[in-house]
């Protein structure tokens, strides 16, 4: 009897949280196989299955990259543009029948090139070099070009290196009722669900915490149950690795119907009654004391807690598996106990749309208020005179903006008349947005992730999103603070920076 009691009250520590409504698997449904995006955003060219930024002014695509177009008067020589020389031809020498002077040679040259446009070199007349060229023998050589002024790269004699912008391929954009995940397009999940690849997962129950594919009543419970699931699999792996030391795995099947609940409770009560009758004996007390010293007896009865709170078939199976583990050294029963939980809808009813989950195809909400004395001006296509500049990339200044997207308001940067934000692993380009303005407000940048007086630029799902900026790819980019990091949009992706600054009001 003591062995039975010890085993019952000493089910593995990972099962200590099995006490009714403390964990459930999130409801989910499939939304089909993802498809490759077929469209590119404006300002992009499609090459194969990927999208590339269109080449800028005086640039032309060469394969996946953009190369400088050689200016007028310069020859295209692969990766260089060259101000080319030209020859003056064979010239106009003295010929039989001419007088013994230069008149015949000059006359024939000027007849071809115009009066005053010829000159004698040696014994022969040639056309003069065009303006900007210098006569070097039979060659007219141009002046060295100013490569920088022409928008080209480094100089080598008469050649200028072309500027080459390496293609930065991104996947295309999805339709209006789709979202992109890992480069593929999926149907938007219905309200109350969030998509991860081909699966839509229900929001966690109100007041609970996310716990992987499940939800738990608190973080401590999540950690305990997650450990239990890992440990239970390890226990079964040991049994399989030893080629099986018991044939009692059948005990893991447990009851499958609600009618078994009464029998389970009856069996457990009989065990406990038998123990209570014998626990006051001297030998029993000594055995319990030894068991406690060994750390095998836990306070309370895990199985009794599960039975007392059983409300679903899964609860019953889990309780049965805990009792079955008494006689099952294989670990199979413990695995069943660790994994057998119902879907959250069995505990809490049908999934209800959460406030944080947007409806498919729905519009964006109004922008939220922000802290600090800064003002936000609606975009008009041109930056206001007092727009706050939060960064730069090359010669382009990047003003701080914010835009509504997917139920939140997100700080970002103004690029080409649009607000670019980072969201969901992607760079999102939004046409309707607001620009931060600064008139008479003393602002400064302080080392992140937090500082006194931070400017809050937006919010999402109840959390505030301070304005930040970070260095990336030779530029400084405004963005938002999320989970202690600065998230910016760049190159079609959401970039997460660990080293950054936050905007503060002094």
Q: Name the residue ranges covered by the structural domains of the chain.
A: 2-26+219-343, 44-165, 375-505
Q: Give the pLDDT mean for 85-93.
A: 90
pLDDT at residue 257 is higher than 50: no
For residue 428, what pLDDT is reported?
94
pLDDT at residue 273 is higher than 70: no
Most confident of 144-153, 162-171, 199-208: 144-153
For residue 266, what pLDDT is reported?
63
Q: Give the pLDDT mean for 214-222.
A: 87
pLDDT band at 328, cuts 50/70/90? low
pLDDT at residue 10 is higher than 50: no
pLDDT at residue 295 is higher than 50: no
pLDDT band at 299, cuts 50/70/90? very low
Most confident of 141-150, 359-368, 381-390: 141-150
pLDDT at residue 361 is higher than 50: no
Q: How far apart are CA 69 and CA 62, in angstroms?
A: 11
Q: Residues 178-189: pLDDT tens digits? A: 888 878 889 888
For residue 196, what pLDDT is reported?
83
The residue with greater pLDDT, 443 or 362, is 443
For residue 8, what pLDDT is reported?
37
Are 359 and 366 in contact by the 8 Å Cβ rule? The answer is no
147: which 2 tokens? 């490569």
CA distances from 65 to 40, 48, 162 (A): 17, 14, 12
pLDDT at residue 490 is higher than 90: yes
Q: Residues 30-63: pLDDT tens digits? A: 998 888 888 887 778 888 888 888 898 899 999 8
- Per the listing, tokens 């078994």 go with 260
Average of per-residue pLDDT values in the chain:
78
The number of C-alpha atoms within 13 Å of 381 and in the hemisphere containing its C-beta is 0
Is the whole-model pTM more than 0.75? no
pLDDT at residue 301 is higher than 70: no
The residue with greater pLDDT, 311 or 347, is 347
Q: Residues 392-436: pLDDT tens digits? A: 998 899 999 999 998 889 999 999 889 999 998 899 999 899 999
DSSP string, 330-366: TSHHHHHHHH---BHHHHH-S----TTSPPTTPPPPP
């Amino acid at each position: 009897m003591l062995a039975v009691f010890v085993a019952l009250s000493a089910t593995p520590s990972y099962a200590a949280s099995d006490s009714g409504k403390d964990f459930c698997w999130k409801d989910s449904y499939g939304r089909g196989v993802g498809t490759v995006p077929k469209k590119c955003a404006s300002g992009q060219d499609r090459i194969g299955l990927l999208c590339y930024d269109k080449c800028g002014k005086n640039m032309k695509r060469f394969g996946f990259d953009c190369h400088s177009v050689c200016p007028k008067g310069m020859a295209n020589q692969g990766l260089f543009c060259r101000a080319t020389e030209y020859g003056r031809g064979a010239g106009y020498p003295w010929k039989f029948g001419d007088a013994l002077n230069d008149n015949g040679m000059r006359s024939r040259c000027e007849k071809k090139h115009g009066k005053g446009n010829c000159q004698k070199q040696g014994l022969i007349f040639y056309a003069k070099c065009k303006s900007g060229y210098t006569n070097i023998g039979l060659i007219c050589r141009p002046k060295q070009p100013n490569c920088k002024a022409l928008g080209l790269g480094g100089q080598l004699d008469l050649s200028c290196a072309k500027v080459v912008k390496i293609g930065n391929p991104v996947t295309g954009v999805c339709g209006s009722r789709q979202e992109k995940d890992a480069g593929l397009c999926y149907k938007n999940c219905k309200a109350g669900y969030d998509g991860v690849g081909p699966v839509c997962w229900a929001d966690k129950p109100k007041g609970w915490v996310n716990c992987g594919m499940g939800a738990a009543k608190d973080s401590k419970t999540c950690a305990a149950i997650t450990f239990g699931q890992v440990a239970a699999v390890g226990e079964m792996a040991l049994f399989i690795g030893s080629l099986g030391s018991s044939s009692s795995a059948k005990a893991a099947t447990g009851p499958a119907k609600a009618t078994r609940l009464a029998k389970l409770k009856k069996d457990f009560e009989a065990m406990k009654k038998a123990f209570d009758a014998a626990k006051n004996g001297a030998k029993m007390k000594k055995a319990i004391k030894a068991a406690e010293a060994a750390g095998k007896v836990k306070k309370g009865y895990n199985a009794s807690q599960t039975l007392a709170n059983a409300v679903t078939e899964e609860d019953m199976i889990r309780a049965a598996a805990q009792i079955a583990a008494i006689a099952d050294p294989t670990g199979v029963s413990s695995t069943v106990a660790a994994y057998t939980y119902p879907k959250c809808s069995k505990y809490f009813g049908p999934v209800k749309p959460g406030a944080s989950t947007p409806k498919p195809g729905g519009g964006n909400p109004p922008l939220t208020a922000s802290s600090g004395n800064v003002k936000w001006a609606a975009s008009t296509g041109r930056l206001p005179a007092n727009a706050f500049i939060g960064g730069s990339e090359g010669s382009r200044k990047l003003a701080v903006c914010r835009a509504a997207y997917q139920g939140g308001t997100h700080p970002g940067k103004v690029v080409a008349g649009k607000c670019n934000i980072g969201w969901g692993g992607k760079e999102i380009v939004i046409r309707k947005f607001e620009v931060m303005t600064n008139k008479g407000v003393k602002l400064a940048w302080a080392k992140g992730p937090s500082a006194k007086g931070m400017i809050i630029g937006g919010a999402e799902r109840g959390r505030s999103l301070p304005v930040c900026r970070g260095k990336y790819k030779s530029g400084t980019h405004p963005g938002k603070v999320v989970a202690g990091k600065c998230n910016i949009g760049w190159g079609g992706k959401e970039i997460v920076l660990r080293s950054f600054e936050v905007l503060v009001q002094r």
